[in-house]
Amino acid sequence: MPVINTIKQFIDERGITPYRFAQNAGISLNTAYALYNTPSQRVGAAVLDKICDAYKIQPSEILLWVDPDKSN
């Protein structure tokens, strides 16, 4: 099941930096930048929990399922 993260859009819409995102969520800077720069980067359960808790969001706000039959 191809799931991508939409962290870049999430961060950009809020006008924050990946650095601030990492601080707010309590995740490593490397993880924040990997998620920001690579939509195919998987979000682990622990990281997902931290992000959702920090921003009071549902996982669906930063994860998107992509139909493999409709990809290039």
pLDDT per position as a tens digit, 20-61: 999 999 999 999 999 999 999 999 999 999 999 999 999 999
Question: Whole domain around residue 43: which residue ranges?
Answer: 3-70
d(Cα 3, Cα 18) in Å, to the nearest integer? 21
CB 8 within 8 A of CB 36: yes
Check residue 61 and report its DSSP letter: G
Q: How many distinct structural domains can be found in the chain? A: 1
Q: Which two tokens stand for residue 60?
A: 């669906």
Residue 61 belongs to domain with CATH number: 1.10.260.40
Q: How many CB atoms lie within 10 A of CB 25?
A: 21
pLDDT at site 71: 60
Q: What DSSP string describes 20-43?
A: HHHHHHT--HHHHHHHHH-TTS--
Tell me the pTM.
0.90
